Amino acid sequence: MLRFLLPLCCALGLLAGPVAAQIYSWTDAEGNRVYSDQPRPGASTVELKPTNVVEPTSSSSAVQSRDNSRDQPRSGSVYQQLSITDPANDSAIRSNEGDLTLTVVTEPPLSGSHLLKLSIGGVLSQTGMPGTGSAVHQLTAHNIDRGSHEIAAVVVDAKGAEIQRSAPITVHLQRTSLNQPARGGANQAPRAPAAPRAPNVPRPGSGG
């Protein structure tokens, strides 16, 4: 089960969780703007906006959300780039709280009439990040179950119709289970101490 929190604009900077990688930007030989988490000569760093926290759809509407995304007509590719740049595909991430922060790049920058959402395990988040004129976005999901999850970034319009979807990535979340036994059998019942043994006293007349 996935649970996301509502956007808290004033407290986003205080959220605890994994810190996303630095994003770099440069122009390639064909004049296209490129974003990556890998630095290179001549690249400039991108100032990241505060992390946005999204809320998932309820379990009763998850199937409806999937069906609606199939039925809604999709326009052509509005964004030349729509990708999750951090974490990398097939990453193993440890977070005992189940927090996961993702960095998403849209080029051109996300339109003010669009929302950026996350699809985790096929379930589309109920709330999303609105366009702010930035091309780099951070979204955080909370209390994700441990295990492998397929995640994609999804752009929808004001009516909730899906416009574009990124290539999915797989993330392997590692978190401590409360039911996991402690190492060394620390959770086993203590054993009763052995009864004291009498000292080896020589018998009378033994001559010893």
Other Cβ atoms closer than 10 A to 113:
10
Which residue, among 48, 49, 24, 17, has the nearest Cα to 140 in the 3D structure? Answer: 17
End-to-end CA distance of the chain: 76
For residue 67, the model assigns a pLDDT of 42
Which residue ranges form the domains of the chain, and what is each CATH number?
Answer: 48-177 (2.60.40.10)
pLDDT digits (tens, 9 = 90+) for 127-149: 889 988 899 999 998 889 999 99
pLDDT digits (tens, 9 = 90+) for 32-62: 777 777 777 877 777 666 555 555 544 444 4
At 107, the pLDDT band (50, 70, 90 cuts) reads very high
For residue 79, the model assigns a pLDDT of 95
Mean pLDDT across the chain, nearest whole number?
74
